Chain A
Amino acid sequence: GENVEQHPSTLSVQEGDSAVIKCTYSDSASNYFPWYKQELGKGPQLIIDIRSNVGEKKDQRIAVTLNKTAKHFSLHITETQPEDSAVYFCAASRLTSGTYKYIFGTGTRLKVLA
């Protein structure tokens, strides 16, 4: 069935370094790829998204790249700060029978060490 693989499951970086989280999807019809950040005890918050007609998108310290041929997309966080510590989820979405179906990755726990 459709699935999204996300790696790594945990990631520790020093403050100021970059962090990269990678996701691979199986459904070639997926055309929308959001990333969510979940802090402890809270709901996932959308931080950036990318659509299939775009290869890269940037918003300040975060960027997402998409390789449709290889069916993978990545989240890049530069100049990491302690407040970036959280669990990050990727998702792949496609339009199916007039409705959108989301498949989420298993999450990456990012720790930024001060």
Chain B
Amino acid sequence: NAGVMQNPRHLVRRRGQEARLRCSPMKGHSHVYWYRQLPEEGLKFMVYLQKENIIDESGMPKERFSAEFPKEGPSILRIQQVVRGDSAAYFCASSPTSGGAASGNTIYFGEGSWLTVV
């Protein structure tokens, strides 16, 4: 009964390189969220996706960041031309298909991908 799987767990990139972070949701889950956590700070929402659809990307920087959740395979958060300020932990969370207002929509987090830009 695997939980949310993220890889890589740790990633080091030089400034200007690209970072790709992958997330496989829990079995049976079709909704994926990405959050960023800077050191000693809280969780900042980035993007919410369903299969082949971006539902809400209001927290995603307009440039250099993109996310996808294809019909087959994991969700991918892509950061192009990384800068030192991108160094953070990136968490993926997943939830099952919405059960309606009465049941809520609990999200479960993965263990995170720690990006370090040098």
The tally of residues in A whose CB lies under 8 Å from a CB in B reads 24
The stretch among B11-19, B37-45, B63-71, B74-82 that forms the contact with chain A is: B37-45
By beta carbon, the residue of chain A nearest B4 is A43
Asked if A81 CB lies within 8 Å of chain B CBs, one says: no
Contact B98 A100 (CB under 8 A): yes
Count: A-B pairs, CB below 8 Å? 62
- Contacting residues, chain B, for A89 (C-beta < 8 A): 42-43
Interface size class of B (residues with CB under 8 A): 20 to 34
With A32-B105, A42-B112 as given contacts, are A102 and B42 in contact (CB-CB < 8 Å)? Answer: no
CA distance A68 to B40 in the complex (A): 30
Which one of A12-20, A58-66, A72-80, A91-99 is at the B interface? Answer: A91-99
Digitize B42-78: 1 where CB-to-A-CB distance is under 8 Å, 0 elsewhere: 1111001000000110000000000000000000000
Contact in complex: B104, A31 (CB < 8 Å): yes
Chain B proximity mask over A19-54: 1 for CB below 8 Å, otherwise 0: 000000000000110101000001111100101000
Cα distance A89–B33 in the bound complex, in angstroms:
16
Chain B residue numbers with a CB within 8 Å of A95 are 98, 101, 105
| B90 shortest CB reach to chain A, Å | 10
Q: Which residues of B contact A32 (CB under 8 A)?
A: 104-106
User: Which residues of the partner chain B approach A44 to less than 8 Å between Cβ atoms?
Assistant: 43, 91, 109
Decide: A100 near B43, CB < 8 A? Known: A42-B112, A49-B106: no
**Which residue on chain A has the smallest CB distance to residue B50?**
A99
Is there contact, CB below 8 Å, between B33 and A43?
no
Asked if residues A102 and B45 are in contact (CB atoms below 8 Å), the reply is yes
Q: Which residues from A are CB-within-8-Å of B86?
A: none
Q: Which residue of A lies closest to B48 (CB)?
A: A99
B42 touches A93 (CB 8 A): no
Residues of B within 8 A of A (CB): 4, 6, 31, 33, 35, 41-45, 48, 55-56, 91, 95, 98, 101-102, 104-112
